[in-house]
Amino acid sequence: MQIKKASIRDVAKLAGVSTATVSHVLNNTRVVTPETSDRVWKAVHELDYHPSTIARSLVTQKTTTIGVMVSDIRNPFFTDVVRGIEDIFNASGFNLILCNTDESEEKANLYGRVLLGKRVEGVILAPTGHAVELIQDFISQSIPVVLIDRRPPECIVPFVGVDNIAAAYESVSHLVDDGHQHIGLVSSLMTSSTAQDRIEGYRRALRDAKISLSDELIVSFDGISTVVSAENVVRELFRHPHPPTALFTLNNLLTIGALRAINDLGLRCPEDVAILGFDDLEWASMFTPPLTMVRQPTYEIGTTAASILMRAISGEDITNEEVLLPTKLIVRDSCRPGGHSGNN
């Protein structure tokens, strides 16, 4: 326990050298005789000295800190992505400032100011709504940004994600092949590029299968994805006179919610209603029934985005980078060949 934290000057005084020497010893940035080096290190330990990154950053203009903005770290998709990001940056001595925006543009903008103020060297962002201004704020301070998951169509910014249209097309086609004609779609925020692309894939798959579209089969809600919101909205869907025989859910939380709602309604999956969901869950295979899901390479999305951002920080030009990682449809019992075998 000590009254005042030791500074480089205290160390210099105790070691009988200049602050410059201390600095150089600490950073290995010029040759010093072993004797002085020893004296310095001894002083460092004696004083329990820890150099202030703050002061250092002020002069070097580098903070070795980046910002990560996602809607909610509790969404397993983002949990994994963030871990991937952390692994890459940690290896280079960078730290993460974690920001949960809860799909609120206001919160996102607030965080934006903070990150700008903290002089982060880069940002990885899963944008909410038209985040164009937010992104522009960073860019105009020459802070590199890499987008993940979603991409506002207006801006040309490096992006890492998946081909949502294709993945959704494949998924819905799979349901069609199983004999389904009434396929419901469950979304959270419809305005995100991700949702829109997945809906577009859904539409195209139905169109190509000559199945007529019905907007009443599409349900959604605002705010962050939660199991409960999904449950409510799915229940609503089944008040429809022609309820769906299959559900395409746009993310993992929605899938769980849908399954719950179906159980609550006394329907069985897949006999009455099939479910196919976006995003994998590590233990999707152990559900009742095992869930059919579109697996996104979450961890890799994180590491890839982080690597690109790291290169930008190193001065490389990344303006045109765009990486679409492959998805994988993992078919399990929650949708079954033969389609539904029942009513109406």
Which residues of the chain form contacts with DNA (CB under 7 A)? 5, 7-9, 16-21, 23-24, 26-27, 29-33, 35-36, 49-52, 54-56, 58-61
| Count of residues engaged in binding a second copy, rule: CB under 8 A | 52
Nearer to a second copy, 137 or 178 (CB): 137
Residue among 32, 73, 325, 331 that touches a second copy (CB under 8 A): 73
By CB under 8 A, is residue 95 in contact with a second copy? yes
Residue among 13, 204, 260, 311 that touches a second copy (CB under 8 A): 260
Q: Which partner in DNA, a second copy, none is near 36 (CB below 5 to 8 A by kind)?
A: DNA
Segment 98 to 127, residues that bind a second copy, using CB under 8 A: 98-100, 113-114, 116-119
By CB under 8 A, is residue 45 in contact with a second copy? no
Count of CB atoms situated within 10 Å of the CB of 331: 16
Distances (CA, A) of 306 to 81, 93, 132, 280, 299: 10, 13, 21, 21, 11
Segment 240 to 259, residues that bind a second copy, using CB under 8 A: 256, 259
Burial class of residue 129, CB neighbours in 10 A (0-12, 13-18, 19+): middle
Cα gap 219→197, rounded to integer Å? 15
Residue among 33, 34, 93, 338 that touches a second copy (CB under 8 A): 93
For residue 249 the two structure tokens come to: 């859910």
Distances (CA, A) of 32 to 45, 49, 260: 18, 20, 68
Segment 135 to 164, residues that bind a second copy, using CB under 8 A: 139-142
Q: How far is the CB of 11 from DNA (least distance, A)?
A: 7
Widest CA span in the chain: 91
Q: How far is the CB of 55 from DNA (least distance, A)?
A: 3
List CB contacts of 210: < 8 A, sequence separation 6 or more.
none
List CB contacts of 243: < 8 A, sequence separation 6 or more.
182, 184, 237, 273
By CB under 8 A, is residue 279 in contact with a second copy? no
The CB-side HSE value for 263 (13 A sphere, CA atoms) comes to: 11
Nearer to a second copy, 51 or 179 (CB): 51
Nearer to DNA, 48 or 282 (CB): 48
134 sits in which H/E element:
helix 132-140
Q: Which partner in DNA, a second copy, none is near 21 (CB below 5 to 8 A by kind)?
A: DNA
Contact 308, 105 (CB under 8 A): no
Q: Which chain residues interact with a second copy by CB under 8 A? A: 1-2, 5, 48, 50-55, 57-58, 63, 65, 72-74, 79-80, 82-83, 86-87, 90, 93, 95-100, 113-114, 116-119, 139-142, 227, 256, 259-260, 263, 282-283, 286-288, 290
